A = this chain, B = another copy of it.
Amino acid sequence: MRIGELSARTGVPVATIKYYVREGLLAGGERTGYNQVAYSEEHVRRIRLVRALVEVGALPIAKVREILDKAGDPERDTDSALGVVARAMDRTREVAEPEPDDLEEARAIAERHGWKIPPSEPRMKALADVIGTLRLLGLEALIERADDYARAAQIVAETDIELLASRADREEMLESMIVGTVLGDALFAALRRLAHTEVSGRRFTARREVPDEKSCN
């Protein structure tokens, strides 16, 4: 297809497609004649992947290129590529060295859930960083209830890894992990907000239907 059709298929302006090619996020099309370049379904797929990372994942272009470069490196075996790409996706925000108390809290949560995580695991620091921010903002109550979050996270992670393992080949696994990481967060966030509507609606209605409830507390 021509670049105009590629643009129509993906909803991405021609100028942006050209920018992606210049930035190395997208291979150029195949030159088929004077001033004629053909693009394939592979390009459609790749542009959609880039858009998901940029729009839904809010990742900067340089980070998207790093992730796609690592995923496309033919020197690595699948397990190693999955690990390297996962690490690249983790480092989207600089995490300062966490406070010892926050790290301790993070480790305690993992331990209570039977998670065997190496102490040096950077993801433990990322969790400690969130805990530190919650503490700074006076939301200790949420830290105390982090076990509910961890229980929910485990349900989701079991599903994620099961889906990943069911993928047929390396390329499918990598793309599934990249998309699943970013869109899984978005899917959960959307469902969490919908569940807020449900749960707070239930509470609010209960409060209105039982006007004496307040005096009972």
Contact = CB atoms under 8 A, between A and B. Distances in A.
Contacts of A142: 163, 180, 183-184, 187
Contact of A188 (B138, B149, B181, B196): B149
A153 B183 contact: no
Interface of A: 45, 48-49, 52, 55-56, 58, 79, 86, 90, 93, 109-110, 113, 115-117, 121, 123-124, 126-127, 129-131, 133-134, 136-139, 141-142, 145-146, 148-166, 175-176, 179-181, 183-204
18 contacts: A116-B202, A121-B194, A121-B197, A130-B186, A134-B179, A137-B179, A141-B163, A142-B183, A146-B187, A148-B156, A149-B184, A154-B195, A154-B198, A157-B196, A157-B199, A158-B199, A185-B189, A188-B188
Given A163-B141, A163-B142, A188-B149, A133 B183 contact: yes
A198 B133 contact: no
A194 B137 contact: no
A76 B48 CA distance: 42
A149 B153 contact: no
A162 B191 CA distance: 17
Nearest to A82: B200
